[in-house]
Structure 1
């Protein structure tokens, strides 16, 4: 009986291992299909505009079945949310670079420089317009842009708390509220740049806005922000 039991256990382990391997392959294939759909959708949005692209065009460009899109995304707007999340992924990676700056003011300036450069050079004007307009117009779109649970909120809040602890930033306003105001201010910069259709340089303009508007608003009485170029 023991040999039979041993054989049965062996067969069970082999079957389970085979199922796990098969499941892993299916999961990898699903992730790859989702990635291909996403990348081709973003490319089409940039080429033709969000409203001019159909789901069928996306699946045709991606080389997948017509119904495959709805396996991974509810609507086209979900693609836009994924792009927002990708931007937050950049912020998460960049956060480690901020540690080399000693003061909270320097970190704010460095972040604004990196944020505006990333939006200008990687996200691009066309996609930024789509990101903002979709979040405003589409009632079904997840309001990720203003979600306080975004990584962006946590990153800025951490810098502001540092500034409050060192006396650089005001403490009469809660760090969460100052973070909210900072992000609202930067969204206004991006929106203005999008409306102007790249009529001014986003990085230089963003840094100037940070120097003249944001840092004075954050600063404790009697402390002055350093020049944005320092």
Structure 2
């Protein structure tokens, strides 16, 4: 990578991190692009080179999260023989990553932004890598005779995603007053048992 490309990546990262910090501090709706530019000591041109709007900063964060799932977790869960075990391990590692690496502020801000009805939510984009990982688990688990066959794989994924969003939304509402890592076992355990044959 040449110096120019490296500098561009660093600028993009600087803008992303500063914007997320401002969103956490003031709330997404109260932060302007001008404030982000001032905080990062960059220009409007630099901002709009990397992002169409401040909402696009969250798209970058989602991509970063999905990249983590693909690059870090897929190989780990593949070591599990049973697909139900792969699902349990994936969800445990996911909640660990969210709690320890992303934190309450980022999750709260993500939900604040994604509940805006003026645009489509990234949560609902069908080709997210997260959804591909879950669909693979449910499809193969069903073929392997581990999961119920009276539920479609799409329905199982929908149940899983709603459970996932529910625990994260509750965690955000409660200002992280419980551990996602500890709580996930009980909640997702009930869900997984309900999907098994």
TM-score strictly above 0.5: yes
Please name the residue that 1:151 is paired with: 129
Greater Rg, structure 1 or structure 2? 1
**Is the CA contact (8 Å cut-off) linking 2:70 and 2:129 kept in structure 1?**
yes
**Is the CA contact (8 Å cut-off) linking 2:163 and 2:188 kept in structure 1?**
no
Structure possessing the higher relative contact order (Cα contacts under 8 Å, 6 or more residues apart): 2
Q: How many residues align?
A: 196
Task: Please tell me whether residue 216 in structure 1 is matched to residue 196 in structure 2.
Answer: no
Q: TM-score w.r.t. structure 1 length?
A: 0.78
What is the CA–CA distance in structure 1 between the aligned matches of 2:117 and 2:104, rounded to whole Å? 19
User: 1:29 Cα shift?
Assistant: 4.2
Q: Give SS of 2:78's match.
A: helix
**Is the CA contact (8 Å cut-off) linking 1:104 and 1:160 kept in structure 2?**
yes
Task: Please tell me whether residue 131 in structure 1 is matched to residue 114 in structure 2.
Answer: no
Tell me whether 182-191 or 59-68 shows the greater mean CA deviation. 59-68
> Given the alignment, which residue of 82, 87, 91 partners 1:103?
82
What is the CA–CA distance in structure 2 between the aligned matches of 1:116 and 1:125, rounded to whole Å? 12
Q: TM-score w.r.t. structure 2 length?
A: 0.90
- 5+ residue gaps, structure 2, are none
- Shift of the 72–184 alpha-carbon distance from structure 1 to 2, 3 Å rule, reads same
Tell me whether 86-95 or 174-183 shows the greater mean CA deviation. 174-183
User: 1:27 Cα shift?
Assistant: 4.7
**Is the CA contact (8 Å cut-off) linking 2:28 and 2:112 kept in structure 1?**
no
Q: Compute the RMSD of aligned alpha carbons.
A: 2.0
